[in-house]
Amino acid sequence: MVLALLASSLFPQRDPQRHQSGDNRLTLASPHIRDILAASPVMPVIVLDRVEDAAPLARALVTGGIRVLEVTMRSPAALESVRAIRHQVPEAIVGVGTIVTVADFDAAVAAGAAFGVSPGSSDHLLAHVAQQQLPFLPGCMTPSDLMRAMEAGFDAVKLFPAKQAGGVEMLKALGGPFPRIAFCPTGGIDALSAPDYLRLPNVACVGGSWLAPANLVNSGDWEAIRLRAVAASALRAVATASGKTSR
C-alpha cells in the first residue's frame, strides 16, 4: 500500500501524452505521441549548427513526405532552429530530441516543440514530464527501463541505441512481455535496415540520421535531402507489402 502511494505521488496519472496548444501541431484536437509517430515511417534525427539551415531543411523533408522532425539539442542552434521551423514551415511536426534534464524539457516547451524525445530515462525527468502536457517519447534500452516508463504512464518509447541493444531480435523479444508498448528504434538504422524494423508489429516508426547527414546539410543540397525523404516516406508501404513479422 505504501509503495503504491509512493508510486502514485512520484508518477501522477495523466491523460497520456496530450498537448493542445501551439500552432505547430497535428490536425488533431489533442494528439497522443502515438499519433505523431504514425505520421511518418521515419523520424529524421537532425543536428543543426546554423539556424539559417533549419527552414530549408525542414521544407525539403516535408516536401519529400516526411513531416515529423526531431531536432536534437546537440548544438547551440537547436532551439532557435525549432522556432524557425515552426514559423516558416508550419506543416512540419517539429520536436526536440536529446532531452536529458528537466531544464532541457522546459526549454523545449518554451521553444514551441510539438513533442520531446530523450535518449534515456530517469525517475526525476519522467516525474516532471508526467505532470506536463507535451507529448513525450522516453528513451529505453532494457526491460527495467520499459517498466519504469510504463509506471510513469508511457506506452510508446524510443529504443536506443537500437542496433547496439540487439536490433530486430531485441524488439521481437520485448514484444512478448510488453505487448502494449510501441517502439521507435533509433541508433544504427539506415535506409537498408529500416524495413526490417518497420515489419515488426510493435514498431511505430524508426529514427535515423541518414535523411539529413551533415555533409548534405552543410552544403545546402536540399534536393538530395528531399529525394532521401521521398524514398523514406515509402518505407512503411514497403514493409506492409512484405507483411508484418509476428512476434
Which CATH number is 21-242 given? 3.20.20.70
Q: What would the pLDDT profile of 67-84 be if each residue is shown by its tens digit?
A: 999 999 999 999 999 999
Whether 70 is catalytic: yes
> Out of 52, 151, 158, 172, which one is annotated catalytic?
158
User: How high is the pLDDT of residue 187?
Assistant: 98
Contact 16, 155 (CB under 8 A): yes
Res 94: pLDDT: 98
From the list 52, 70, 151, 169, the catalytic residue is 70
Q: What is the grid cell recorded at 117? A: 524525445
pLDDT at 241: 77
State the cell numbers at 15. 491523460
pLDDT in tens, 203-238: 999 999 999 999 999 999 999 999 999 999 999 888
pLDDT attached to residue 19: 36
pLDDT beyond 50 at 200: yes
3-state SS string over the chain?
CHHHHHHHHHCCCCCCCCCCCCCCCCCCCCCCHHHHHHCCCEEEEECCCCHHHHHHHHHHHHHCCCCEEEEECCCCCHHHHHHHHHHHCCCCEEEEECCCCHHHHHHHHHCCCCCEECCCCCHHHHHHHHCCCCCEECEECCHHHHHHHHHCCCCEEEECCHHHHCHHHHHHHHHCCCCCCEECCECCCCCCCHHHHHCCCCECCEEECCCCCHHHHHHCCHHHHHHHHHHHHCHHHHHHHHCCCCC
What average pLDDT does the segment 159-183 reach? 98
Residue 244 clears pLDDT 90, i.e. is over it: no
Predicted pLDDT of residue 243: 67
The rounded distance, in Å, linking the Cα atoms of 208 and 233 is: 13
Q: Which of 80, 101, 34, 87 is nearest to 59 (CA)?
A: 87
**126-146 residue pLDDT tens:** 999 999 999 999 999 999 999
Contacts 24+ apart (CB under 8 A), 158-161: 158/117, 158/118, 158/119, 158/183, 158/184, 158/185, 158/186, 158/207, 159/183, 159/184, 159/185, 159/186, 159/187, 160/119, 160/120, 160/185, 160/186, 160/187, 161/186, 161/187, 161/188
- In whole numbers, what is the pLDDT of the chain averaged over residues? 89
